Structure 1
Amino acid sequence: MTTRLQSWFAKTAVHPAEKLQLFCFPYAGGGASIFSSWKSRLAPDITVIPVQLPGRESRSTEAPMDTIQDIVHSLLPAMAPYIHKPFAFFGHSMGALIAFETARQLSSQTGRLPVHIIASGKSAPHLPYSKKQLHDLADQPFTEELRLMQGTPEEVLQNAELMQIIMPRLRADFKVCETYVYQPGNPLACPMTILGGMKDYEVTTDSLHAWQQHTSSPIDVRMFEGNHFFIHEQEQEVIGAVVNILSASSALNHAAAAHASYSTNTLQPRFRQS
C-alpha cells in the first residue's frame, strides 16, 4: 500500500528550512522529470514534489488514466500524508486543469487548500475547449498533429517503436482535456497566478484573465516569451517567477501560520470514496 501511494510523487529531499511543499503537475505526455531541474533551483524553504501520473517514467507499466475524475479520485488519498503541512500547486496546460480540480476536491472533502495556485499555459477551465479533437485520430494524423504542436522531439516522432510506447499515454492525456466538462462551483479561497506564453496562439490573454472567475482573490497574469512550451524555453525566468510569486505573495508567511494550525491536528484527512 505504501509503495502505491508514494508512486504518485517523485522522491524529493526535504530541506530542514522547508516551509512549503510545491506540487508540480505536468502537461499532456509529460512526466515528473520535466521538473527535475526545479528541485535544486528553488529556494531551500520550498520543497518541489513533482506529480507522476500513471503510464509514464517510473509508472510506465501502469495504464494511463483518461479522465480528470479518475486522476483526482486516485490522487487525493495519495496526498493525505502530505497536506498536514502547507502546500502550493503549479500546473502547466493539462497539469493546470488537474491542479485546479484537485484543489476543488481537497477544499470540498477536507476543507484544506493550497496557499497559492500557479496555473500555466491553460485557458480558464469554464471556457469551451477550442482545440482540435486529437485523442481518437489514426496514428499518422495523430503524429502529424504532435509535430505541429512542437512539443515532441522530431527524433521521437520518427521512431515508430518509441511512438507505439508513448502514444497510449498521449492519447489518454488528450482525452482528459478534450472530454473535460466544467462543473460550476464556488471560487476557491486561495490566491492564483496565471502564466502564459506570448506566442501561444491557442491560449489567449483573455482566456488567461478568465481564471479570475475561479478565485476570490485578484489574480496576477504574467506573460513570457515563447510558445505553449515557454516553461522550457524560458525555464530560468519561469522558475524565478515561481520563487518570486510564492515569496512576494506572502504565501510562505501564510504557510508558516498554516503550519502551526495544521500541526495541532494530527488526524489524517478522510476522503470520500465515490
Structure 2
Amino acid sequence: MTSKLHSWFLNANVNSRADLRLFCFPYAGGGASVFREWSRFFSKNIEVCPVQLPGRESRGLESPMTSLTQIVQAIVVEIEPLLHTPFVFFGHSMGALIAYETARQISKKYGKHPVHLFVSGRSGPRFPYTKKKLHQLPDDQFKNELRRMNGTPEAVLQNEELMQLLMPRLRADFEVCETYAYIQDQPLQCPISAFSGNADYDVSVASLAAWNEHTLNEFKLHMFDGDHFFLHNQQENVMQTVIDSIHPIPAIPAQKQVVHTGNVIWL
C-alpha cells in the first residue's frame, strides 16, 4: 500500500480478516475522526475505512478542494486497489454526495458496485444544497450560519485564532456543496438507505425520499431523533441500522414497496 493511498483511506488493509469494507465520507468541515469509534462497533470481518479529504487533520497542510468533481476524480483513482473486497459506502451531508458520485463513477470506470449506499443528512442529488451561497458570506454571517446548523461548538466559533485556521476548509466544503450540479444518469444497481434527523429542518422527508429515484434496487428511509448532526448523539443506533441493512446481504434485488413502521419509513 502506498502512503498516498493511506492518506485518503485510513485503516485500509489493516484487517486481514475483513471480507467487507465500509468507506465513510465525512460532512463539510469534518475529517476521518468523525468515524473514529466505528471500528470498535463493527465485527472483525468489516474493515471501516474513513475517508480523509485534503485540508484536514492528518492532511491539514494540503489545500482543500473546492469542487465535488475534483474530489470524486481523485478518490476514484486512489480507491481502485481496494475494490477487490466487497464494499459499502456511508456518507453524511456533503459526504453523502461524495459517496453517491463516487459510486456512479466507479460503476462507469471499473464496472463495480457497492453492496449498499448509505446517504445521511442530505436531500436527493437533484435538490440544491441551499438557495444561498454561504461560502461567499462575510465571516460574521458565515459563522452565524454555522451556529444555526449546530455542528460547530460555540467555544470554537468564539475562538478567532482557531476560526482563522478552520474558515478556509469550511468555505471550501460549502463551495463543494453549493456548486454541485446533478447530471441525470442511470440509477445505481445497489440498494440505497437514506438517514435523517427528525429535527433537521433543512432536509425534508420528501427530498430524502427522492433518493429512491437513484437506485434500481431497494430503498429505505430511516428517521432518527436529532437535528442535522444526529449522527453523533445517535451514533450507536446509526451503526446498528447499517449492520442490520447489510447482514444478510440480499442475493436478489427486492421489489420496491412503501411500508410505514414506527419512526422508520420503508420505501
Residue 236 of structure 2 corresponds to: 236
**Equivalent AA in structure 1 for residue 180 of structure 2:** Y
Q: Where do 1:91-106 residues align within 5 Å?
A: 91-106=91-106
**Equivalent AA in structure 2 for residue 168 of structure 1:** P
Distance in 2 between residues matched to 1:14 and 1:2, nearest whole Å: 13
Q: Looking at both structures, which has the greater relative contact order when contacts are Cα pairs under 8 Å and sequence separation is at least 6?
A: 1
Residue 175 of structure 1 corresponds to: 175
Which one is further off, 227-236 or 129-138?
129-138
Cα distance, 1:163 vs structure 2? 0.4
Q: Where do 1:158-169 residues align within 5 Å?
A: 158-169=158-169
Supply the RMSD in Å over aligned alpha carbons. 1.6
- Structure 2 SS opposite 1:81: helix
Q: In the alignment, is residue 87 of structure 1 matched against residue 87 of structure 2?
A: yes
Q: Where do 1:209-228 residues align within 5 Å?
A: 209-228=209-228
TM-score by length of 1: 0.88
**Structure 1: runs of 5 or more not aligned:** 255-274
Q: In the alignment, is residue 118 of structure 1 matched against residue 151 of structure 2?
A: no
1:57-87: per-residue Cα shift (whole Å, max 9, x none)? 0000000001111001111111011001110
Q: Is the 8 Å Cα contact of residues 12 and 39 (structure 1) preserved in structure 2?
A: no
Which one is further off, 153-162 or 4-13?
4-13
**Equivalent AA in structure 2 for residue 146 of structure 1:** L
Cα distance, 1:220 vs structure 2? 0.6
**Structure 2: runs of 5 or more not aligned:** 253-267
Distance in 2 between residues matched to 1:129 and 1:232, nearest whole Å: 21
Cα distance, 1:138 vs structure 2? 1.1
Identity of aligned residues (%): 52
Cα distance, 1:131 vs structure 2? 4.6
Which one is further off, 162-171 or 128-137?
128-137
Q: Is the 8 Å Cα contact of residues 32 and 51 (structure 1) preserved in structure 2?
A: yes
Distance in 2 between residues matched to 1:242 and 1:131, nearest whole Å: 31
Distance in 1 between residues matched to 2:13 and 2:86, nearest whole Å: 16
Cα distance, 1:239 vs structure 2? 1.1
Residue 55 of structure 1 corresponds to: 55
Q: Where do 1:253-264 residues align within 5 Å?
A: none
Residue 140 of structure 2 corresponds to: 140
Cα distance, 1:13 vs structure 2? 6.6
Q: Classify 1:12/1:83 alpha carbon distance in 2 versus 1 (closer, same or farther; 3 Å).
A: closer
Residue 24 of structure 1 corresponds to: 24
Residue 35 of structure 2 corresponds to: 35
Which one is further off, 135-144 or 48-57?
135-144
**Equivalent AA in structure 2 for residue 67 of structure 1:** S
Distance in 2 between residues matched to 1:110 and 1:76, nearest whole Å: 9
Residue 258 of structure 2 corresponds to: none
Q: Is the 8 Å Cα contact of residues 130 and 178 (structure 2) preserved in structure 1?
A: no
Cα distance, 1:2 vs structure 2? 2.3
- Structure 1 SS opposite 2:135: coil
- Structure 2 SS opposite 1:7: helix
Q: Is the 8 Å Cα contact of residues 11 and 47 (structure 2) preserved in structure 1?
A: no
Residue 129 of structure 1 corresponds to: 129
Residue 194 of structure 1 corresponds to: 194
Residue 185 of structure 1 corresponds to: 185
Q: Is the 8 Å Cα contact of residues 38 and 239 (structure 1) preserved in structure 2?
A: yes
